[in-house]
Amino acid sequence: MSSVPEKDWKRLSSLKQSLLNSACETIFERIEQISSTRKGREHEAYLALWTVINKEDNAIAEMFDDLKRSNAVVKIAALKHHGVLTDEQLALFSQETQDEVAHLCSYRR
């Protein structure tokens, strides 16, 4: 697939900000959990925070950086793989896109 259908591109574009906000909120929740249990283990908590931020920054980049119609199906698959895109949201896309996303996700298990 060279690019997603126009309808799917518009759908992804309309979902982008809420998906990004959702991904960031999940990261903040992880950070808050680590930070709230740091007493007496500050350095260990710092290392855990660094690990989370580094890993999640890579995931955010995979899902959102350089988002364009020609790579949208790969980005949608990344969103699904990382748990940011729900099954209900995926169902908003064409069957063609859903099938391609499922195919790509099958390689990432």
Region for residue 5 given its phi and psi (left: phi exceeds 0; alpha: psi -120 to 50; beta: otherwise) = beta
Give 95's pLDDT tier (boundaries 50, 70, 90).
Answer: very high
pLDDT in tens, 34-53: 999 999 999 999 999 999 99
pLDDT in tens, 66-90: 999 999 999 999 999 999 999 999 9
Map the chain to HEC letters. Answer: CCCCCHHHHHHHHHHHHHHHHHHHHHHHHHHHHHHHCCCCCHHHHHHHHHHHHHHHHHHHHHHHCCCCHHHHHHHHHHHHHCCCCCHHHHCCCCHHHHHHHHHHHHCCC
Q: Return the CA Rg of the chain.
A: 16
The first and second tokens of residue 107, run together, are: 């390689």
